[in-house]
Structure 1
Amino acid sequence: IAQEFIDYDIKKKAKSANKVLAFIDEQLTLVYEKLRTSENKMQSFNKQNKMAGKGDFITIYVGKLDNLESELLDLELEQNMLKEINTMITNTEDIDVYKLLPVLTGASFQEEITDLLSKLNALLSSKEEVLYTATTQSEEIKAFNYRIEVQKKLLIASIKALVNKCEVRKETLKGKINEIEAKFINLPTKELEYARLLRLFSINEKFYTTLLEKKAEFSISKAGFVSKNAILEVGVPPIIPVSPDKQKVFTLGTLVALFLSGLLLIISYLLHNNIISITDISKQTSAAILGVIPTYKKDIPITLLLVDKNPKSLIAEAFRSIRTNLQFIDGSEGPKIIAVTSTVASEGKTFVTINLAGIIAFSEKKVIVLDLDLRKPKIHLGFNFENKKGISTILSNKDRIEDCIQSSTLKNLDVITAGPIPPNPSELIISKKMDELIEFLKTKYDILVIDNPPVGIVTDGISIIQNADYPIYVFRADFSKKNYVKNVDRLINESNIGKLSVVLNGMDTESKYGYGSYEHGYGYGYGYAYGYGYYDEESEKHKSPWYRKIFRS
């Protein structure tokens, strides 16, 4: 680092000299071309007019004129240098003396101005050192500012005197030049032209020579730049590093890792409030577990009938298992009612309704699906049906039952959609007309599968669930809260729904938790959700937090 600082110091000093050298090289190229041109013209004129021996007088006076003009040129250069230095001193508060030194190289006033600049630089350096321990408003800094201003004024006055001195000398030289030029007026035309060409050649030659001298002077000045700083002794790095202590870092890292792991376990335990397995349900309720629907890995935009797409899939097998278990609850003959509900929306009750109806239809039973979720109907979307008429128009005596029954693509499976959303859904569901509708459908179908509203939000469907042969309560794994299970016992005890059974939907079969044959890591199940709220706007598909996935595997 110290060597880099020294190199930077030298480069900073040489920066101005490099700019001057670049300018001189540019001028040398231009003047050299002019010198060659004037030399060729003079030689050509000399041959054509045979000026040999006739130009001695001209040569003498041209030489004198050349010397005077060279001196005049030097004075103009020095005068321009002085003006440039004066501008830099006047317009710059903190003068960089190193930029001025290359400009002074070779000038007749170099020693005088350099001495004044060195004194000014010493004052500026001392001021910088004091600023490390004093403020700009301190008396010591004010004293330095005063002395610096005095030194600047002295320098400006000296420069002004030198400029005036150059101006006086220039006027004297111009007078002598005019005297010599007057003697050329009476010369013959050829001699006058020869004198002009000779003079032009001499001017270019002298200018070219001056530029070469200046280039040499600046090159020498640049080579002589040295830094004020020096490396007294090069540092040697130790073989064994002083820092960091590897043993300490390893120990600290291990302790931090253990602490963060413990903290993560505690946070996961405290935040773990969702149902993720059948155990979470069976610990809190005595209701029968009807079955488990594994997670469907592919995204589907809406609730769909899936069991007919691949009848041998695991999801179809899951619904067959539920169909079989229903027979153990009530194996008597006659038409049956299956009523499906949940605590809130997005737990998959509509999905269970549609696919359970589909799997029952495969067993050669006539099945009809009723959408009683009149506030937020979804059944028509699953079958891609229109919803212009349905349950609401039947119960409002606007349409006949036969006109509202729609046949699905699956044999033995019909649907009555919810119809337009009514202003009084509760009154329609508990009306006598609803009882008449169910009784009528019992005469036509073997199984009525009813999609009810979530009972955790509204109580419209409780009367239907009470009268159902197979009331089903749906939970969704890693979505439904554990306290939702209390609703099951409340319906059993308070609403006298003793046959109520439970289905766990969306079970992640890749985790260590499972139920029956679904503990083997299959990749099927239900992947659609329509919001956390119920009568509000739709929400995004629920995703399990990463920290819960860690502790479920």
Structure 2
Amino acid sequence: MSGNLDDIVGFKQLFLKLVKNRYFVIISLFLSFALAYAYNRYSTEYFNVETSLLFKEDNRLSTIQLYDNSYNNNENLENKSLLINSYPLVYKTLEDLRFDIAYFLEGNIKITETLYAPFILQCDNTSKLKGKRFKIKYVDDASFIFIDLSTKNEQKRRFNEKFFIYGEQVNVQYNINFKVSNDDIPTTIVKFQNLKDLALKYKQKIKIEKIVKESTVMNISMLTRDEEKGVVFLNKLVDNYIEDEINQKNLASNNTIRFINDQLEEMSDSLALIEQQIQQYKNTNKITDLSLKAQSIYTNIVSLETELAKAKTLNNYYAYLEEYLGKGKNLESISVPTSFGVNDVNLTSLVNQLIEIQIKKNILIDGGQVNNPAVNQYNRQTKQLILNIKEAIKTSKKANNLLITDYNSRIYKMEQSLSSIPEVEMELLNIERLQSISENIYTFLLQKRAEAKIDLSSNVADTKVLERAINLNKKAAFPNKERTYIIALLFGLLIPIIYLIILDLLNNKVLSKLDLEKLTNISILAILARNYSGNTLLSNHSPKSSVYEGFRALRFNLNTLNKDNSSKVYLITSSVSGEGKTYVAENLSIVFAKSGKKTLLVGGDLRRPKLYTDFGLNNNLGISNYINSDLDYRKLISKTNISNLDILIAGPLPSNPSDTLLDPKFSLLMQKMKDIYDVIIIDTPPLGLVTDALTLMKYSDINLYVVRQKYTKKAMLNYVNDMHQNNRLGKIYTIFNDLNENTDIYGYYYNYGYYQENEYFSKN
């Protein structure tokens, strides 16, 4: 409970110190808010623009099953994130938008980037302009100023002495053409940027993250100086990604169609030539149709030869596949076996795995992660898959060649049965047989091409734009003005607080009752307000003054301690001179005398006596004379103009003050004084300098140790604490002296209007 109270008191003390230094706090707050305003006003603003995409799960690429059931969806999303923020895609987007040319509007204080400049630059070739900056100032309808900022070369251009017409093309150096869009044209800076460097900067700006942990919705955002420019960039980036995704899907289908078209072109030429041969043969040999027997044999042979041709087509695909693998390029674009009717499950699975690995690797490389360990792993997997595919091709070709051999054998047997057919009819049969086989193969290829085209036209992106980036004209994400002002408020208060704390840490004086209570366990008996009047004695003060009331409180507290009237001698001391021990002794004597007590004020400080000067007396006769001669003690007592108050002056400085106080005659003197007076107040030398105070304490009932605010050093209290713990100070209490009247006992600022002036109000 005590600890909590100390914390509360400490907080209040700090708060009221801030109140005392309120002008410093106000200045600190004003400067902090002024800096915050300037920071908010003139800092480059950055806006947060964002868009969100939905990625479908279990994605497929065209006719290939790119991702099998073991494919991790999180890995898929990470790969897509890398692809969206890949260098090639960002570069292409910047190139499409012509962001290599940047426009800046020049204001009075800062320069602001803008998407919509007052004019549009059209450059045939910007390669020579990379890194250059130009400033264009509109002068009037007939002229403008063109400044090359790198050379500071300034030119005023006119247009053939004609008035300027908006929309008219203007030719200036560097072969730059521009059109002015309106007649209110601010000074504009044009900067030509390197697209490669710009793409790297934009890559760092883009942030991609999941909106919800378990969802496949990704949020794409970036901080940009021009909100409209950021919106245009993000939307174009997403459009390019979706377009690229569809193109990747169409790649395999396009390769399949290209391969089939090559085959169809060859078959078309063959069919045309065969058709001519048949017609020519019929005309020459005067024959129209085959006999029924020939037709029957012909049909069977054509059927077998069609299957034979299909088997040979498969061998063509195997040859194509081996050649493609041998090149080792664009492996993700291989036409899959199923596109050509190859039903080899093992080969199809291996090709799909190869395509999957290549796409994963390309995503990492396009994302700038060439050194990613996964790339090396994918390369190793690719080599192994190529070996496995080649082995599978050998197995498939072997099985396919067995079919070809079987078809050839069966065809040969059928051909033997044609020996009974006339030679003319036999020749026609061979030609028509070749035509039928070619037509069947041609039809087969047409069917496969149609399937590939249908597949191509049905390809859609696996990504859907949920929310496009839009210009909401919302407040800037940076600087955050509210947060800046909050920080300014905190700093405006923190600086004075730190300053006050540092002052406290550097301070070695007792400042408040709280300090005194922390530094010593000696009870505080009274707190005395500062005396601003310049009058040392209370007899010259208003009875209702705060100073007077403080000594009344001290008298009351002493009377409370002395309910049994066993104490009548009070000793006043301090650590060093200047803390107010004599002042306290004098005025405590006065308030006791005013209460009707017969009071004696004893000048126990034989070294630097002062009592006599404050009361207008002389120091010719006192304690030192009594000890060193046979004077009557009654001659030593001096009367004052205050009723009931007498003074026993110290007298001239003896040769050895300490021995004087130890003389038995002084002990007898003090005993006589106790018999005569109700209250005896002893003023002593400082406790920390000589032992006189300790010597005099054997005559006192209660000792009062004076501590002066902002004067007594904290280290002095350590000495007093040690003596108190060793029981060398008897019954002792502290008096906190010279407290500022605007400060209460804990150091709070206080105004108490009960008295005639701002009175000190003691919580005691």
TM-score bucket (shorter structure): 0.3 to 0.5
TM-score (norm 2): 0.34
Point out the structure with the larger strand share: 2
TM-score (norm 1): 0.46
